[in-house]
Chains A and B, each alone.
Chain A
């Protein structure tokens, strides 16, 4: 990547930058160097180390050596596939719930809030600045056994239905899959609402009027105009929700039980408690592969690649 190789292309819109002497062509590289170096050393290189760790064998006392022991991957998968399935299931459910809950609020802020718009936005963003761990702990209080939420849901028969579906047990909410999904949904809701709001806000309100003038009902307008135009927000919102939720272990740990452990919990305990680094590294790589494959397929199908 030498200076002479740098393309001399000078688009008409930015002539000033490119009419510079050769020395100036180096400027972008100097601007990029420190940040990219940081990412290479502390993001890309660690991935290489992790890949190498995942094919090592040994013990903590004797040290680990690269033995190309790919069996670790298979063992990890066969032993922990329930946690993998749970992660995908919980994160997927939370993502769908986030979309269902987040869309009306994003729509409300974008089109109906009027002078309340800024206040509502502040209320959506403010949780970002409050420790999410403290707020997750607050869910322990809200979902507590015998608390008002449990009592109300129990008396209307909601808990019977969710118990039948296997999402709760008896008349409690805490330490059930539903509690974990509730926590995940709550934690990642802002990541859904903000992209949705951004893409909804860009829609020209005159398109709604035009649809109305063409005798479209409110629901038809939404289905044929608003929703398709908000697809970029839907895609990036679902990704921003699903990806972190699939690796999360905080909600499963604080709101769940041993039966609700996700793959993040396994990676955490293997790395920090059991100290079985190869298994932990293999699990983490499988999770990364699963997420990257799902994301790539999803982006292809949804047809939006300009996410950043």
Chain B
């Protein structure tokens, strides 16, 4: 009993972690299932069929590649626009800063369904055709705020004297930006970009409203929950999990090595 009381936090924390990981394990296990009916919710027998033929389901890999494309463009768009805003907010004093800060905060303080619905009314009123472009516009919009926050945090912790030093050494504004400012801000920009990619790739609610007949991967999964879920969905889910963990671990490994070898701060 004493031991349990002493380690209560650790036990509770690990239980929460188990709760968080459990669905991922279920997804992984069921990627090796051979379902009897249309739905892959009950374990039948072991099979590697789905792994041998991940694109064997009609339209699934098409929706996957569409989601990747949208996520890529939305990431580029929101990262460029968001980083510019973040630099302006941290590095310059000007009027309307407060108003701009609220405008950036509001999309994060609003239920997604409200934004999704209001965008749909805009597109309906303008007579825009729902599809790739409306999804891309919407994703860029809601990823923007998250990029601003991520980049702002990094730029705030930057020492402005480094840029002064560059100027003292006769670097022009462009040279200073490319050789000094950008490399220091890069981790923040990378974090913002990764967040934007993940948010866009995984977004369902805003896409649901503004996609028309275009089917992104989350839309495909949603539809399959009604029609019957192919095992391949679990294969993709497992692959995404493994790739994500690998990317994060590699990233940590690289930044860890940099920390050891680079100049002291």
Closest B-chain residue to A182, C-beta based?
Answer: B19
Tell me the residues in window 27-62 of chain B with beta carbons closer than 8 Å to chain A beta carbons.
27, 30, 41-42
A34-B63 Cα distance, complex, nearest whole Å: 30
**Per-residue CB proximity of A24-67 to B under 8 Å, as 1/0?**
01011101101110111011111101100100000000000000
Closest A-chain residue to B81, C-beta based?
Answer: A35
7 A-B contact pairs sorted by A residue (CB < 8 Å): A6-B94, A11-B93, A29-B94, A122-B248, A138-B30, A267-B117, A281-B117
A135, A136, A137: most-surrounded residue (chain B CB, <10 A):
A137
* Segment touching B, from A76-84, A154-162, A204-212, A240-248: A240-248
B92 and A130: CB pair below 8 A? no
A186 and B101: CB pair below 8 A? no
B113 and A284: CB pair below 8 A? yes
B13 within 8 A of A: yes
A14 and B27: CB pair below 8 A? no
**Neighbouring B residues of A307 by C-beta, 8 Å:** 105
Q: Give the A-binding residues of B (Cβ under 8 A).
A: 8-10, 12-14, 16-17, 19-24, 26-27, 30, 41-42, 81-82, 84-85, 87-88, 91-96, 100-101, 103-115, 117-122, 124-125, 137-138, 140-141, 144, 148-149, 152, 160, 163-164, 167, 198, 201-202, 204-205, 208-209, 217-218, 221-222, 225, 229, 233-234, 236-237, 240-241, 243-245, 247-249, 252
**Neighbouring A residues of B112 by C-beta, 8 Å:** 244, 247-248
**Neighbouring A residues of B140 by C-beta, 8 Å:** 38, 42
Contact of A243 with B167 at beta-carbon distance under 8 Å, contacts A28-B88, A39-B144, A109-B13 already known: no
* Interface majority SS (helix, strand, loop, mixed), chain B: helix
Contact of A7 with B94 at beta-carbon distance under 8 Å, contacts A53-B121, A295-B109 already known: yes
A43 and B93: CB pair below 8 A? no
A102 and B16: CB pair below 8 A? yes
A102-B137 Cα distance, complex, nearest whole Å: 34
A264 and B113: CB pair below 8 A? yes
B26 → chain A closest CB, angstroms = 4
* Segment touching B, from A139-147, A163-171, A227-235: A139-147
A295 → chain B closest CB, angstroms = 6
B9 and A284: CB pair below 8 A? no
Contact of A46 with B245 at beta-carbon distance under 8 Å, contacts A108-B10, A295-B109 already known: no
Tell me the residues in window 109-124 of chain A with beta carbons closer than 8 Å to chain B beta carbons.
109, 112, 118, 120, 122-124
A43, A53, A250, A288: most-surrounded residue (chain B CB, <10 A):
A43
A277 and B20: CB pair below 8 A? no
A110 → chain B closest CB, angstroms = 10
B114 and A287: CB pair below 8 A? yes
A13 within 8 A of B: yes
Closest B-chain residue to A183, C-beta based?
Answer: B23
Contact of A49 with B121 at beta-carbon distance under 8 Å, contacts A129-B240, A272-B208, A308-B105 already known: yes
A123 and B209: CB pair below 8 A? no
A292 within 8 A of B: yes
A9 and B87: CB pair below 8 A? no
A214 within 8 A of B: no
**Neighbouring B residues of A112 by C-beta, 8 Å:** 9-10, 13
**Neighbouring A residues of B26 by C-beta, 8 Å:** 138, 141-142
A118-B252 Cα distance, complex, nearest whole Å: 8
**Neighbouring B residues of A133 by C-beta, 8 Å:** 202, 204, 218, 221-222, 225
A308 and B88: CB pair below 8 A? no
**Per-residue CB proximity of A275-301 to B under 8 Å, as 1/0?**
001001100110110011001000000
Contact of A288 with B110 at beta-carbon distance under 8 Å, contacts A31-B85, A130-B24 already known: yes
A283 → chain B closest CB, angstroms = 9
A1 and B96: CB pair below 8 A? yes
A130 and B19: CB pair below 8 A? no
Extra contacts, 11 of them, besides A132-B204, A284-B114 (Cβ < 8 A), are A25-B94, A34-B84, A35-B82, A53-B121, A131-B218, A136-B23, A138-B30, A247-B113, A248-B205, A250-B222, A284-B117
A53-B163 Cα distance, complex, nearest whole Å: 50
**Neighbouring B residues of A281 by C-beta, 8 Å:** 117-118, 121
**Neighbouring B residues of A6 by C-beta, 8 Å:** 94-95
A288 and B95: CB pair below 8 A? no
Contact of A43 with B107 at beta-carbon distance under 8 Å, contacts A35-B81, A264-B113 already known: yes
**Neighbouring B residues of A127 by C-beta, 8 Å:** 20, 24, 241
Contact of A141 with B16 at beta-carbon distance under 8 Å, contacts A16-B160, A126-B241, A130-B237 already known: no
A249 within 8 A of B: yes
**Neighbouring A residues of B106 by C-beta, 8 Å:** 43
Contact of A254 with B113 at beta-carbon distance under 8 Å, contacts A125-B248, A132-B202 already known: no
A141-B31 Cα distance, complex, nearest whole Å: 13
**B125 contact from A49, A250, A272, A308, Cβ within 8 A:** A49
B245 and A122: CB pair below 8 A? yes
Contact of A249 with B113 at beta-carbon distance under 8 Å, contacts A46-B121, A101-B16 already known: yes
A5 within 8 A of B: yes
A34 and B138: CB pair below 8 A? no
A102, A136, A141, A280: most-surrounded residue (chain B CB, <10 A):
A141
